[in-house]
Chain A
Amino acid sequence: MNGIPYFPGCSLKDSARGFESSALFVMETLGLPLVELERWNCCGTVYSLTEDDLMHHLASVRNLIRTREAGGDELVALCSMCYNTLARVAARVDADAEAREKINAFMDEEPDYEGGVQIVHLLHVLRDRIGPDAIAEATTRPLDGLSVATYYGCTLVRPKSVSVDDSENPTAMGDVLDATGATIVDFPFATECCGTYQVVDRPDLSLERSYRVLHSAARAGAHVVATACPLCQHNLEQARDRFAESDGIGALTVAYFTELLAAALGADPPPEGLGPMLEIHVTAEGGA
């Protein structure tokens, strides 16, 4: 296969189109293109936490089977929630032969899944395979002058068994963005929950959590909060607009980390919504 198989998931085809298009541009530019998995389906979105609830693992297992059919043994995810769900299901069925047999027996129409597919996050590929040096070399619009708060949220770093990095003090996103010349600011709410799906019936609750994240980022001097999850992105944008008058929050841009990378690697025009912000913080300070 030419390139790496990747799993987009539902949101990247709708509310988070900019996440997908920027990631595709970045990987194409860096010479390791992402190839969309054929016949993928929803991952299930959340990992079932009760022992007997095998039924809800089926959706993820089907994607693992599709990966095998494509001749691969690894699948790259972009959305943090997809990454978490796929990685936890893959680990569960690898470790639990009885669960795997039950799942296989239920899916009559599918070939049996024997295990072994590795779920990888795009950050792993960028940091460990391509590396900061190659990213720095490919950077044509350095982000000098831009201060970025890298927001990991929950599902990228917890539980430890699937964390992309240290659960309490992750640096993976910063390691990658630092290579573009951006300044990574330290902010204490980098791994605090944004309120997640509570936005559906308790928007008060998610707005409050997202406000705290933004407040912390603004206090740390960030211009941009970088995300890796369509739900974090949504909740933070809602809170930014709702609390725009408060403590510099309205001046913050919320963007997928891949959008910042795409801008640095010369995407022309830069991803939607980033242009004016880059104009102010990067060009004015002699970056581009």
Chain B
Amino acid sequence: MPTENLCARVEELSGENVFACYQCGMCSAGCPLTEEMDRLPSQVIRDLQLDDPELLESNAMWVCASCLACEVRCPKGVDLAKLMEALRQIVLRRALDNVSLDDMKREDIRSLPQIALVASLRKKTG
């Protein structure tokens, strides 16, 4: 996946200043999902600052559930959930979906509240 100027593209999509982050780690400390991620939330920002070409291969943005625990606690006012969404969008806008209902059993789909399905498809398909 070509990742030229990834940081600039993420800043444009998110409206956030990636370089406001001074790596205090508060986001990673409060994130309820870090143990499912191959990079910590604070590492995602660091890797953005460094324009790491591998970042789009990380699972962190797909595990992030936009719970905003990081957003309300960041001492620098960086909205990390917006950065994660921008990363997802860069992939999804290349028509690379991350979830498919075809992989799911019909009875599982029926048992879920509508907001679960709509939210999942909004977050993980283009």
Contacts and interface: CB of A to CB of B under 8 A. Distances in A.
Interface of A: 9-11, 14-16, 42, 44-46, 48-53, 56, 79, 81-82, 154, 158-160, 167-168, 191-193, 195-202, 205, 209, 212, 230-231, 233-234
B112 interface: yes
Given A49-B81, A50-B13, A201-B120, A15 B33 contact: no
A200 B117 contact: yes
11 contacts: A42-B118, A45-B115, A49-B14, A50-B14, A50-B82, A192-B32, A196-B119, A200-B104, A205-B33, A233-B113, A234-B113
Interface string B66-77: 111101100000
Given A56-B122, A193-B33, A200 B72 contact: no
Given A45-B118, A50-B13, A50-B89, A197 B68 contact: no
Interface string B44-56: 0000000000000
Given A15-B114, A201-B103, A205-B63, A158 B119 contact: no
Contacts of B85: 48-50
A230 to B, nearest CB: 5
B113 A158 contact: no
B72 A51 contact: no
Interface in B8-53: 12-15, 32-33, 36
A159 B68 contact: yes
A49 B66 contact: yes
A53 B90 CA distance: 12
Contact of A11 (B114, B123, B124): B114
B114 A197 contact: no
Given A46-B66, A49-B82, A201-B99, A231 B117 contact: no
B91 interface: no
B95 interface: no
A200 B120 contact: yes
A200 B13 contact: no
A187 to B, nearest CB: 15
